[in-house]
Amino acid sequence: MHLPRHVNERELTERLTRFEIETPSWGYADTGTRFGKFLQDAAARNLDEKLADAGQVHRYTGCCPTVAVHVLWDFPVGSDSSEVAQRAAKQGVRIGSINPNVFQDQCYKYGSLGNRDPAIRQRARRHILDSVELGRRVESNLLSLWFADGTNYPGQANIRQRKRWFQEELKTVHDAMPPHMRMLVEYKPFEPAFYHTDIADWGMACGFARRAGPRAKVLVDTGHHLPGCNIEHIVAYLIDEQMLGGFHFNDRKYADDDLTMGSIDPYQLFRIFHEITAAEFELGRDLEIAYMVDQSHNLKPKIEAMIQTVMTAQTHFAKVLLVDHKALAEARARDDIIAAEGILVDAYQTDVRPLLAEYRRSRGLAEDPLAAFRESGYVERAARERAVGKSREGASYA
């Protein structure tokens, strides 16, 4: 591929190499909706199989060295986590973010850290602190927090008091983290709380993170926004406030559907990446951002969907590296809106597949990771081993 004159090929290749994206353990397992789930023969049944599948994604893409884990789903009560890091290493990956679970147990019906019952708040805090310790044992440096806390009806709870409880508890957790660990605070405007959600938007998440401490930042889930929301504006604002900590990438049509990344609005993904690389261009350094996937592949084959997602991420990240930032600044300086927008559109419309094919080939990877994986026979072998014991009747969501 012939690169534009303003693009330095070595710098582009080095930045692509530094771009890594974390895949989630739960994306390899059988999942569903509140109405039920549909089983896949090859879906992972336990953490070892999830790590093996994640290892396949990293093997074929070369840019997914870490795996996010969900406490309780991956580490049932009483399980031994002492050798998990070594088991991950055997699959060519490392344990990434630790995701506590304070929304599934019956005691959290009315909330976790925002619950009016101090015993339940203490239980939730204890679980999160245990997750911090788990992260220490498995050599993780990220604690990723999402809360289902909220209310369904006006008058149900004291919203201001719940806010204060969250502030106190998050600071307690932050102060207990080891020095190398960062806290990421996620937000969601609704679901499962349909009247008010305790951390409903980026501003609330930012406020809670600032009060928690200097190693707490905001986690942006691209599916957790109201229709029409300008996500790249949020990203740019958080970058400038030095409060952007990471992403959970997915896509959606109506609400938080967890569709595969870029499947509905790929130009939005490009615009988000542009705000990041534009800031990096101005600063002259990479931003410390955790790029993570959060998707529930209910219909698509698990590993193939993950590889497809990673390829989409690489494609759009490569596109933004073609933006001519100097020309863009000049167009802005003369208020030339047509030229400024055109610079972004030109980069977005550039076919970077030849560039990425050559990049992968130079690193000993298949030019088309998805096609190479499909030809490997891994899914068929996994299906034969894992389908045993999976009931096809009355499978409920859990």
Reported for 162-167, long-range contacts at CB under 8 A and 24+ positions apart, including other chains, are 162/111, 162/114, 162/198, 163/114, 163/198, 165/113, 165/114, 165/115, 165/121, 166/113, 166/114, 166/198, 166/199, 166/208, 167/208, 167/211, 167/212
Q: Which two tokens stand for residue 129?
A: 């602190």
Arithmetic mean of pLDDT, 245-264: 93
**387-398 pLDDT tens trace:** 987 765 544 433
What's 316-368 look like in SS3? Answer: HHHHHCCCCHHHHHHHHHCCCHHHHHHHHHHHHHCCCHHHHHHHHHHCCCCCC
CA distances from 299 to 39, 73, 256, 303 (A): 9, 20, 16, 12
Return mean pLDDT, the chain.
95
What's the total number of domains in the chain?
1
Q: Please tell me which residue, 250 or 32, carries the higher pLDDT value.
A: 250
**196-232 pLDDT tens trace:** 999 999 999 999 999 999 999 999 999 999 999 999 9
Q: Does 291 map to a domain?
A: yes
**Per-residue model confidence (pLDDT) at position 395:** 44
Taking 90 as the threshold, does the pLDDT of residue 291 lie above it?
A: yes
Residue 247 belongs to what domain range?
18-321+368-386
DSSP 3-state of 119: helix
**Per-residue model confidence (pLDDT) at position 391:** 62
Q: Does 391 map to a domain?
A: no
Q: Does 336 map to a domain?
A: no
* CATH number for 263: 3.20.20.150
Q: Does 339 map to a domain?
A: no
Taking 70 as the threshold, does the pLDDT of residue 162 lie above it?
A: yes
**Per-residue model confidence (pLDDT) at position 244:** 98
Q: Tell me the pTM.
A: 0.95
**Per-residue model confidence (pLDDT) at position 11:** 96
Q: Does 81 map to a domain?
A: yes
Q: Does 72 map to a domain?
A: yes
**Per-residue model confidence (pLDDT) at position 77:** 74
Taking 80 as the threshold, does the pLDDT of residue 4 lie above it?
A: yes
